[in-house]
Structures are given as structure tokens and as C-alpha cells.
Structure 1
Amino acid sequence: MRNWFLALLLPLFLLACSDDENLVPPSPLPQFKAQITVKKLWTARIGEGVDEAYLSLKPAVTERWVFAASAEGQVFKIDRLTGKREWSVDIDRNITGGVGAAYGMVAVGTANGEVLILNEDDGSVLWEKALSGQILSVPAFGSNRVVVQTIDGRLHGLDRNDGSTVWLFDTSIPILTLRGESSPVVMGRATLAGFANGKLVALDTESGFVAWERLIGESKGRSELERLNDLDGRFWVSSQVAYAVTFQGGLAAIDVPSGRVLWTKPMSSYAGVSEFLSQLYVVDEDSVLYAKDSISGTDVWQQEQLKGRGLSAPTAYDRYVLVGDYEGFLYWLSYQDGSFLARAKVGVKRYSHANYKAQSLRRVTDAADGLRVEPVVFDDTVYVQGNSGELAAYKAIEEK
């Protein structure tokens, strides 16, 4: 019952916000002259999409393959260079968590709280394990562990070979949370995980021993809604520093070995952050994109022309910053000043700027044609899975 109740909270929260006269309407589609050429390499159909379910089915990209999942229970293995399907299997469960892949294994999480580990070669089930709650995060692989986060505030350390529970971390979470979950990150012996109580936690991957816990920002207000401080979006780890942002809490940089907070800044986001070449990129709750100096947290630039367009978490690579919006547009922006360089359309448009108010904020956030999952970059190729079920690969091939 608790998990079912939690599953309703983000849609109800967003519907409540949609009645607020201060609701930020989406900016018009930016008009600009493309500065680079972006080529669509291939597309693949991954089920029927997520419709209006608030799911983030992130694909996993390896040296040769892309592994993707549909909400209906299909898992696909696709050649990452050609888009050709190698195999697909139906696990006969509703998949709610994104895909993890490593060590010849593929992991997915279900609505009923099961984690399934498939054989990379043929998609056969190696083992499965029933856990304590729905899985909205991406399972993470360690050398001997599979680490899975469930919506009830628990982190499960499972034996990679047979799924037996080695350790369990449990933290209290508030009654009111966003519908979503950040995904754990395994860095060798260290595992990091973010929770709905605004805490980032570091544990020993093998034993589950807690090294440190840090509250990201501090929520303020009289009501539970105003005090909501949820680490729901993607956090980022680079050069032994973790960058995390919470909704209505703050943005922080934390030294991973010691747990020492390096700096904090006021910020509210449900999307998340990324870092590349000493610059940190974060989308705030109004979908304003910021670039910050990763050493100090000071602003470098901000891009407001996408304000209100329900942006995904940013992904930076080479000279570009990538974000997707609620209409399914994927943007390439300059890392230097945030100017627009190119744009591509993923999926089929169903909602327009004109009828935004009538559809409400929930419609924009859950738009069936949008891009909720952040783009994944491998070898300068961009892979993105849209809410409509389209998986596409793009490459910036030349400057005009």
C-alpha cells in the first residue's frame, strides 16, 4: 500500500502545481540557425512507449551493443553502430526501471519489485530476485555485486552470481516524495546512492558498510509540500567528486573519499546534473539550464530560452551540452556560452505549445512524445530513448 501511495505522489503534486498562477509556461520553440550538422544514424522501435506513466527507461550502451527496455516488458539487444536488432525477449512483467549492463549481464527492474538478470548473449534469465518495493532506478553492477534501489528507501546489495542478499541499507523517507528515483553509482569499492530524504550516501560495495551520509541542501517551509527535499534526479561522479542536486534543497559538490562538502549553492531540480572538463551543467525546476564552474560552483552562463519546456537532465561531451524537452526535441548547445548549435526531433509530436495550459504541467512532464531520459553518449555518438518508444542514434558530423 505504501508503494502504491508513493507512486501517485508526483502526478498529484504536479497537478496541484498546475493550479498555481505562478506556473511557468513553456517558452516558444527557439528559432536559430544551425551551426553544426547532426546526422541521424538509425532509429529502433522499443515497444509502445511509456504513454503518461512517469517512467525513465534509460538504455544501457556498451562497446558494441545498446540494451533497451519497454514498459510492457520487452528487452532488446541492438547493434549500436547499425541499429540492427540482435534479439528481443518478453519477460512478461511491467518494466519500470532502466537498463543496466556489464559483465555479460543485463539487468532490469519491475513494477512489482523484481530485478531480473539476463544473459547478454541470448536474453535468457540467469536469475531473478523479489525485493521490497517497485524499482524505478537503474541497477548498478560491481565486480561481485548488483546494487538495486527500491522506491521504499532501501538499497539492496545482491550477489552478482545468484542474486542472494549480501547486505541491505534502509533509510527513512518522507511520506511526500517525487515519483522517481536517482540511480546508484558503483565506483569500485564505493557505491553512492541518493534518496527521497535529500541524502547522498556512500557505502562499501562489498559489505554495505556506510562510509558517510550527507544532506544535500536544506528544505524550508511550514507544510510537507514546502519541505519536500528529494534527490530524485541524476547525480554525477567525476574525479572523486560527487555533484548532486535536490528538489527544493540545493546543489552540492562532495569529496567522495572523505564525504567532505566542498561547496553548496541554492538550487532546485528534479532533473539532475552532469560534469565535463571542469564545468558542471544543471537544469533547475523551471528548466533553465546553468553552466557552473565545478571547482567553485559559480555561474559561467545560463540559458533561459528553454524555460518551462520540461527539460531532461543535461549530458555534456566534446564541445556540446545536450538536453531534451517535453515535445521530443533534442538540443545541442555550446559548452562555451549555451548558444544553440543544432536540434533534432525524436518521436511523434502529440502536445503543442498552444494547448499547454489546458493539458496542465503533468501533461507536459509526462508528454508521450517527450524526452524524459537524459541522452547517453558513447564514442561521440548520442543515444536517446523517447517517451514514444523511439530509440535513436545521432552524430555531429561536421561544422557548417
Structure 2
Amino acid sequence: MKYCSKLTTTLFKTLRLLFLSAFLGAVFTSCDWMGKDPAPPLPGERISVMAYESGLKSDPALKDVVIEIPKAEINQEWSQIGGNAYNLMPPLELPQSLELDWSRSIGSGSSSSERLIVDPIVAKGRIYTMDTSYVVSCFDFETGSLIWDVDVSESDWTGISLGGGISFENDIVFVTTAIGDVVALNFESGQEIWRTSLHYPTRAAPTVSDGKVFVLTLNNTLEALDGKTGEKIWSHAGATEIAGILGSASPAVRDGIVVVPYSSGEIVGLRAETGEVLWSDNLVSLRQTEGLKGLAHIRAHPVIDDQQVYAISHSGRMVALNLETGERLWEQEIGGISAPAVAGDFLFVVSSQGDLICLEKITGKIKWVKVLSDFIPVPEHEADEKPTKPQIHWIGPLLTQDLLLVTGSNHETLQISPQTGDLIGVIHSGEKVLIPPIIANKTLIFVTDNGYIKVLR
């Protein structure tokens, strides 16, 4: 076994406990994958208590500003965890009415000791997944037929599966694991091309750009590898932070600059060729918070749009930075663990408090705020009981031509108007989904928590 230590086990247990604290909650049951009209809301204006307390409210200056969403595009691939190396996808074409086309098991799902957190990718007419046993599977995009699968773990590995991911470039599938290995596979056969041990568990999927593979490890070190050989080119060490949210963000790369999000709250701009530090910032919240809420971990992938970087930390700071200089253009006291969606002059983000927020991307001013739990009906209860709603973990948003898709752990994906924030419809999954869905070729793809891939068209 290449890597196994008491420190690793302790770190895994710490992250597992933090993850369970963040995502435990009751879950609704649902019946199918079809979208349907939402239940009529209760009368009255909806105001987010949490947003109100944090000062989040619409800016009057944007009251008459119309949100225009660019024309949707058809993407044939979703080759990296954020769609591409800079984690920015345009509005994507997707039918508003969807039906389940096919479903397949990808292997082992989440359990009491394992968490399935690896996002699927789409490339070359195939869907690639990885389960909690580090089995990478390749499915035909149209039919769902299994083309190949391969176990990329070490044969004597007995640790807990709490990380890793997959990416694609130049006909190679790149895989990271919590064992600390980076593996390159032939996309057609799954045959191993090379393997490099980093001797430390990896947090998330690799980011691949211009023949280089960028991998973030559990000890906050970014490793740059040669995509053809797996040889190490350079590395950068961030501040050490043991506690964090399960998983992590992948770096973003554009115009020769790597933007690295660390679990300490650091965000650093590096030159992709050499690892030279260009700038750095810190997204630790100014508020004094304790426990899980106080973790400064940047769990959401930074997004690069032209020359601006948008990043958000878990503890409550969202910023826009200049890509080349790191100059802070604006900031908001918003925390979250999902990357924002950017379109036109606006961006959309889900906060840790369960609000969906629309901001003007140049100024950071808030156009509207919606409370996602307000879209969920109150469960049936006895007359003498106080009505309560389950705690729901929200991921997204994913932007289509006319809808924001926000997926909840309650088996539902909300279809929301980007112009107004109003609920348009609901897609029922029937199963818990904690991994962000993706879109490719007008197809919506889910990976469920119990280890199934669901393809809707």
C-alpha cells in the first residue's frame, strides 16, 4: 500500500463527521422523474429570515433592470467537474419537460462509512463515473450500455472513500483518489497509461488545461503534473487547515493563470507554466462564528468569466477578483459551497442558508433573493403540532435557456425563473441526489446517492 497512516485516518474521520453534520436531514419521498407544476404557494410576501438577518436584500437601484439571458447553446461535452477548465458554462439547451431515458448502477454508493461525491463527466459520446470503491465506469451516452469499467485503487487499500474525481482532455481520462494516486486511462479501453502517487489524499477532481493536470491534495498543496507522463512539474503549498467540508473545489484555469481555492479560505493566482504566485486573497468571514458555520473552506469551484474570478467561501464571503492582479472588485457577506452560475450581466448563487440570490456581476449588487424552502410544502401534521419543514441541502444552480435548476436532498430539482426567482416547475427524482447534475447534448444527468446514473431527455 503506497499510503496509509494514522493521520490520514484521523483526517478522513474529521471530514466525515463534518459532512454528516452539514447534510443530515429528513427527506421527502417522490414518485417519478417527470416535471410538474408546483403546488400553489401560501399567500403573502416571502422574506428570508436568514437573508434579512444577514442584510441580504434587493438593491433598489436594480429594481427596473431587466435580466437578459444569452441564447442557450448545445454542448456535446461536460469534460471537467465545472464543465470546463474555468468552470464557466453558458446557458445550455434542455427541454423543460423531461422523461427518464435510462438508468444504470455505477457500483457502490454512499453508506454509513463511505460518501459518493464524484461528479460524472461526458466526453466523446460517453459518460464516465467513479463509485466509492474507485471503480471508474464508461457508459454509452445514448444507450447506457457499459463499455468498460476499471478499479483504479490499490489492491490492498482498506481506507475510507471520501474524495477524488475525474476529468478528460486529449483522449485521456484523468482520475484522482483519496489514496493519493493520480491515474491516466485510455478513454476507449480504460487501460492505464500512467500512475503517479502524491503520497497524500486528493480532495477533488483534477483540472486539466493545455496538457497539464492540476491536483489539490488534502494538505492544501497544488501539484502540477505533465498530462502525457504524470511527471511532477511544480507544486504550491497553501496554509494548512485540517478541518473542512467533505470534498473540495477544483482549481480554475484560464489565460495561463491557475486560480487555487484552499480549505483555509485562501485563494491564490498562480502562473500555470511555473507556479509563480501572482496574487493571493483570503475569504475568511469577518463575522465571529463557531463550529461548522465558521469553516472558511472554499468548497465551491471558482469561476473565471473573461477577466473576473468569482469565488465564495463556506463561512460567508463572496468576492469578484481581477484574474491577472487579484484586485478585489466587490464582496458580499454570502457563504456557500456551490459555484455560481454566470450569464449575461448577472450571476446566481445558492447560499449556505438556503437562499437563491441573483447579483449584478460587475457591482455585486443584489437583484433578488428567494428562500428555497418557501417552495417546499409544509408536511402534514397534527392540529396541535407546530408545522416544520425538513432540513434540505441545496446544490446548484445549473442554468438552461430559461430556467435555473436547483437540486435538493429532498429528491426534488426546482425549476426557477432567472428573471424573477419564481418557481416554474419541479422535477422529481425519487432518490436522494447530493452531486450536482450536469447537462450535455440537451440531456440532464444525475448521479444518485445510492450509486445510480439517471439520464433524462
TM bracket (short chain): 0.7 to 0.9
SS at 2:98 equivalent: strand
TM-score (norm 1): 0.83
Letter in 1 for 2:267: L
Match of 1:32 among 31, 35, 38: 38
Taking the aligned partners of 1:14 and 1:122, their CA distance within structure 2 comes to 35
Other-structure match for 1:151: 218
Paired residues of 2:271 and 2:277 also in contact (CA < 8 A) = yes
Q: Is 1:7 the counterpart of 2:12 in the alignment? A: yes
Q: Distance in 2 between matches of 1:192 and 1:310?
A: 27
Equivalent position SS for 1:272? coil
Q: Distance in 2 between matches of 1:84 and 1:300?
A: 45
Q: Which amino acid aligns with 2:100?
A: K
**Alignment-derived partner of residue 449 in structure 2:** 387
Distance change (3 Å), C-alpha of 1:86 and 1:110? same
Give me the whole-angstrom Cα distance separating, in 1, the residues matched to 2:146 and 2:26. 40
Structure 1 position 11, deviation (Å): 4.1
Q: Does 1:257 align with 2:340?
A: no
Task: Kindly indicate whether the alpha-carbon contact (under 8 Å) linking 1:95 and 1:109 is maintained by their aligned counterparts in 2.
Answer: no
- 1:67 is the counterpart of 2:128: yes
Deviation of 1:174 (Å): 2.6
Which range moved further: 259-268 or 303-312? 303-312
Contact 1:252 1:265 in 2 (8 A): yes
Q: Could you say if the C-alpha distance between residues 294 and 63 of structure 1 is closer, same or farther in structure 2, counting changes exceeding 3 Å? A: farther
Q: In angstroms, what is the RMSD of aligned CA positions?
A: 2.9
Give the conservation status (yes or no) of the 8 Å contact 1:69–1:95: no
**CA shift for structure 1 position 10:** 4.0
Q: Does 1:57 align with 2:57?
A: no
Paired residues of 1:65 and 1:79 also in contact (CA < 8 A): yes
1:129-168 correspondence runs (5 A): 129-168=196-235
TM superposition shift of 1:294:
1.5
Q: Which has the higher strand share?
A: 1
Offset of residue 259 of structure 1 = 1.4
CA distance in structure 1 between the aligned counterparts of 2:321 and 2:238, rounded to whole angstroms: 20
Secondary structure, counterpart of 1:4 in structure 2: helix
Task: Give CA deviations for 1:61-101 in whole Å, capped at 9, x if unaligned.
Answer: 22522211111122122222332322222224558312111
2:93 aligned with 1:87: no
- What does 1:158-197 align with in structure 2 at a 5 Å threshold? 158-197=225-264
Q: Bigger CA drift: 79-88 or 24-33?
A: 24-33
Of the two, which has the highest radius of gyration? 2
- Quote the offset at 1:235 in angstroms: 2.4
The equivalent residue for 2:418 is 335
Structure 1 residues 111 and 226: alpha-carbon distance in aligned structure 2, compared to 1, 3 A threshold? closer
Q: Which structure has more RCO (C-alpha within 8 Å, separation ≥ 6)?
A: 2
Check whether the contact 2:29–2:410 (CA below 8 A) recurs between aligned residues: no
Distance apart, 1:27 and its partner CA: 9.5
Shift of 1:129: 0.9
Instruction: Provide structure 1 residue ranges, at least 5 long, that are not aligned to the other structure.
Output: 349-369, 396-400
> 1:364 — aligned with what?
none
TM-score, normalised with respect to structure 2: 0.74
Identity among equivalent positions (%) equals 22
Q: CA deviation at 1:140?
A: 1.3
CA distance in 1, matches of 2:452, 2:22: 29
Match of 1:323 in 2: 406
Q: Deviations over 1:338-397 (max 9, x none)?
A: 22333333363xxxxxxxxxxxxxxxxxxxxx22221222233222212121212224xx
Secondary structure of the equivalent of 1:6?
Answer: helix
Q: How does 1:272-283 map to 2 (within 5 A)?
A: 272-283=339-350
Inter-CA distance 101–95: structure 2 relative to 1 (3 Å threshold): farther
Q: Distance in 2 between matches of 1:31 and 1:7?
A: 42
In the alignment, structure 2 segments of 5+ residues that lack a partner are: 1-5, 31-35, 41-94, 155-160, 375-390
The 1-side partners of 2:150 and 2:18 are apart by 35
Query: Is the 8 Å Cα contact of residues 115 and 132 (structure 2) preserved in structure 1?
Result: no
